[in-house]
Amino acid sequence: MEAVQEPRADKDNLKKELDTALAQGAGPKIARFALACLSGAIPIAGGLLGAASGAWSEAEQNQFNKIFAAWLKLQEDEIKEIGQTLFEVFARIDQSDEKVRARLESKEYLALLKKCFRDWSAAESEEKRKMIRNLLANAAGGEKLCNDDVLRLFVEWIDRYSEGHFRVIRAVYNNSGVTRQEIWYQIHGGTVREDSPEADLFKLFMHDLSVGHVIRQHREKDYQGNFLKAKRTKSTGPANPYVKSAFDDDKQYELTELGRWFVHYTMNELVPRLTAKSDKAG
């Protein structure tokens, strides 16, 4: 029984040491802030923010590094991924900017961090982990295109959708106005039968993203952004005996505004800068 309890005791002792190291001297507020966040969301995850400790003295830093190294040896792979993600987030933001620091210490950003790490769906794949990292880094500073309610929705999208969904999103972003057939060829190339499981899965991806308001069929609009009704065309000739193909080459697709923001915040290797009113980033 003692052998079972010993690792937990070691973790508890190390957590106390980490709390002390983070609380003393010139330890930056953001490190203590994120420690509190992770301690609340994941009980054994406290102290994974060594990357944010630039304001410590050399002696304090050496002490923290020693404790931090011991701590990591006791952590599960999932917790290590959270630590790596936070390291990368704080390496991408300017903590010397007062606006950024205020944002990092805000209740809203704390809530966003907790939501990202509560279930940690990013552990499913490296792609999802990077998307969470990008979202947190972009949400911390720079221009703010959308409010925190939308950012929390994006966290849910990362959890809900699969890498197959994200490939469709990328295909639509890279060529706005693309058809289903063109999306399929961009991702897979070649053809498959209409009654194949591959066709069914592709239809499911398109359905999920359309219902989720990530993509939509192209719509004409006026200068005020009002969508115009499509003009009806009378069909001529004999009726088509086939149902609509999974790889239809008629209707065009585009990202919704939410979809564009999602790409900006989570896939910024595709779009380094995006303005709220532009149709496509340069």
pLDDT in tens, 27-36: 344 455 455 4
pLDDT of residue 270: 45
Q: What is the pLDDT of residue 190?
A: 84
* Residues 168 and 243: beta-carbon distance below 8 Å: no
Q: In this predicted structure, what is the pLDDT of residue 119?
A: 66
Q: Of all residues in the chain, what percent carry a pLDDT higher than 70?
A: 57
- Reported as a pLDDT band with limits 50, 70 and 90, residue 60 is low
The fold for domain 163-225+244-266 equals Arc Repressor Mutant, subunit A (1.10.10)
99-114: average pLDDT: 83
pLDDT band at 127 (very low <50, low <70, confident <90, very high): very high
Find, among 125, 146, 96, the residue nearest to 275 by Cα: 146
Beta strands in the chain (DSSP E): 178-179, 215-217, 252-255
Q: What is the pLDDT of residue 3?
A: 46
The answer to whether 228 and 222 are in contact (CB under 8 A) is yes
Report CA torsion sign: 253, 257, 258, 264. Answer: positive
Provide the pLDDT for residue 180: 93
Output the CA–CA distances (angstroms, integers) from residue 92 to 18, 118, 135, 234, in the order listed. Answer: 24, 22, 11, 55
Count other C-beta atoms under 10 Å from residue 235's C-beta: 8
Asked if pLDDT for residue 278 goes beyond 60, the answer is: no
Per-residue model confidence as pLDDT tens digits over 199-215: 999 999 999 999 999 99
Give mean pLDDT, residues 181-194. Answer: 90
| Triad 106, 115, 80: Cα angle to 5° | 100
Which range among 74-78, 110-114, 194-198, 219-223 has the greatest average pLDDT? 194-198
Phi-psi region of 47 (alpha: psi -120 to 50; beta: other; left: phi over 0): left
| Residue 24 vs residue 224, higher pLDDT | 224
The whole-number pLDDT of residue 199 equals: 92
Q: Mean pLDDT across the stretch 103-122?
A: 80
Q: Where in the chain is the domain with CATH 1.10.10.10?
A: 163-225+244-266
